[in-house]
Structure 1
């Protein structure tokens, strides 16, 4: 079991409330991602769940039991940090075994658990090496292995891929997703990278200034954002926003359209413009088009034959247009 409930959980530092009262249900076996810009409170919220920070108000329940005052070591949770926090003088095997040794488990049981974790993480061939002899991705797998052997009720990941290069980030993203499918254990994952959130999560929790803006599946947040903040944060490249007369025509303070929901033509369309910078990514090309409504980003095919300075026309798919009021809330 790995159900976690937050009931009115609040965090204050002195007179400053960094986490207003939050209610959140994380179901057993879910992969939940906390996402938002730097300073939005996602790591603080994770630390409140882990017990590494004391809550200022509210209740943290783990599997139906009040764990608000329970020590971190007794919550049945395992945390993986951005820094690997491995012991450099110990072998991979001893690093993974360390929490079991501290728990004074029998040597045979420790050996079995370490071997099982190493097999899952493809670390069997590296058990006798020191952390300094491993790549960044391998070291992060050792840190995850140290969490796995504890057989926790839930894994808590605090930006675990931030120290890796782009290629390793993609590989580790896949490995952690596969690990979730094989272990079927609750995982809570903190990131500022919305691509990680979209590709890994069963459920995304979007945070801003300590508040939960929206909770839902990746496609729910993409298709039906609750407000302009979520609409602009989820999706890559981000949604285009237009205000003024063009928005007023749609009965809104602002309208939003994603780059992939715009048609580009050299002969006709709703919004004339001029092609600026083009980003060629092979399968796709992102065109930055200057219009009377501002700079608009358009997703086109990789072989699009347009160049800097070309005159074009853009037409939005009206069925994919998002409307927002003056407070940023989505209009139906």
Structure 2
């Protein structure tokens, strides 16, 4: 089991409240991603669950048992950090086995658990190497292996891929997702990268200034953002926001249209615009367009759509894909 419940949990440092009172339920076996901009409180919230920070108020329950005042070592949680924190003088085998040796496990048990973890993480051929002989992705897998052998109730990942290059990040993202399927263990993953959140999560928790803005599945947040903050944070490129007369025409203070929900034509359409910067990504092209009376708009088109800087284009938002928000930024 690996259910985690936060009831009225808050955190203050002196006079500064970094996490106002919040409630959150994480079900057994879920892959939950905390996402938000830098300083939004996502890592602090993870550290409260881990017991690395004391809560200022509220209760934390794991599998129905209150652990608010329980030391980290007794919460049966395993944490994987941005820093691999491997012992350079130990082999991969020694690093993975370390928490079991500290717990006084029998050698036969240690050998079996290390061997099983190595197979799951494709590290069997590297067990006798030192960390300096490994790539960044392999080192992160060793850190994850050290967590796996503890057989925790839940895994806590704090921006584990930040130190990796772009290609390795994609590979590790897939590997961690596959690992979740194999282990069927609760995982909480902190990132500021909304692409990681969208591709990995069963459930996303969007945080802003310590508050939970919205909780839901990736597609739920994409299709039905509750407010301007979530609408602007989820999706890449970000949603276009339009105010003024165009928004009033839809009975809203602001309307939002995603770049992929705008049809482009060189002959006719609802809004007339001039092409500025074009970002060619191969399969897709992102066009930054200055439109008359609407403002600057980003549109996503197929890579074969041929326009140049200064060309005139016409934009038409898709029916049923316009998001409306009131003056307080709440979805209508």
For residues 145-185 of structure 1, the C-alpha deviation after alignment (integer angstroms, 9 at most, x for no partner) is: 00000000000000000000000000000000000000000
Structure 2 residue 265 is the aligned partner of structure 1 residue 253: no
For residues 267-326 of structure 1, the C-alpha deviation after alignment (integer angstroms, 9 at most, x for no partner) is: 111111000111111111111111132211101011011111100110101310000011
Runs of 4 or more consecutive aligned structure 1 residues displaced over 4 Å after TM superposition: none
Please name the residue that 2:321 is paired with: 320
Structure 2 residue 193 is the aligned partner of structure 1 residue 206: no
Distance (Å, rounded) in 2 between the aligned partners of 1:115 and 1:160: 23
Distance (Å, rounded) in 2 between the aligned partners of 1:240 and 1:258: 6
Distance (Å, rounded) in 2 between the aligned partners of 1:290 and 1:51: 50
Superposition pairs of residues 284-295 of structure 1, within 5 angstroms: 284-292=284-292, 293-295=294-296
Greater CA drift, 285-294 or 8-17:
285-294
Distance (Å, rounded) in 1 between the aligned partners of 2:174 and 2:187: 14
Please name the residue that 2:311 is paired with: 310
Please name the residue that 2:331 is paired with: 330
Distance (Å, rounded) in 1 between the aligned partners of 2:194 and 2:319: 25
Structure 2 residue 121 is the aligned partner of structure 1 residue 86: no
Please name the residue that 1:17 is paired with: 17
Distance (Å, rounded) in 2 between the aligned partners of 1:258 and 1:307: 22
For this pair of structures, how many residues does the alignment match? 331
Distance (Å, rounded) in 1 between the aligned partners of 2:319 and 2:12: 44
Distance (Å, rounded) in 1 between the aligned partners of 2:286 and 2:249: 27
Please name the residue that 1:229 is paired with: 229
Distance (Å, rounded) in 2 between the aligned partners of 1:32 and 1:91: 32
Superposition pairs of residues 87-166 of structure 1, within 5 angstroms: 87-166=87-166
Please name the residue that 2:174 is paired with: 174
Distance (Å, rounded) in 1 between the aligned partners of 2:211 and 2:29: 24
For 1:318, what is the secondary structure of its paired residue? coil
Please name the residue that 1:301 is paired with: 302
Distance (Å, rounded) in 1 between the aligned partners of 2:117 and 2:295: 53
Structure 2 residue 69 is the aligned partner of structure 1 residue 37: no
For 2:286, what is the secondary structure of its paired residue? strand
For 1:206, what is the secondary structure of its paired residue? strand
Distance (Å, rounded) in 1 between the aligned partners of 2:33 and 2:306: 39
For 1:175, what is the secondary structure of its paired residue? helix
Distance (Å, rounded) in 2 between the aligned partners of 1:35 and 1:75: 23
Please name the residue that 2:62 is paired with: 62
Distance (Å, rounded) in 2 between the aligned partners of 1:86 and 1:235: 35
Distance (Å, rounded) in 2 between the aligned partners of 1:96 and 1:266: 59
For 1:319, what is the secondary structure of its paired residue? coil
TM-score scaled to structure 2, two decimals?
0.99
For residues 37-58 of structure 1, the C-alpha deviation after alignment (integer angstroms, 9 at most, x for no partner) is: 0000000000000000000000
Distance (Å, rounded) in 2 between the aligned partners of 1:295 and 1:163: 34
Distance (Å, rounded) in 2 between the aligned partners of 1:180 and 1:289: 41
TM-score scaled to structure 1, two decimals?
0.99
Distance (Å, rounded) in 1 between the aligned partners of 2:306 and 2:90: 57
Distance (Å, rounded) in 2 between the aligned partners of 1:114 and 1:65: 29
Q: Which runs of 5+ in 2 are unaligned?
A: none
Distance (Å, rounded) in 2 between the aligned partners of 1:182 and 1:295: 46
Q: Which runs of 5+ in 1 are unaligned?
A: none
User: What's the offset of the Cα at 1:122?
Assistant: 0.2
User: What's the offset of the Cα at 1:28?
Assistant: 0.1
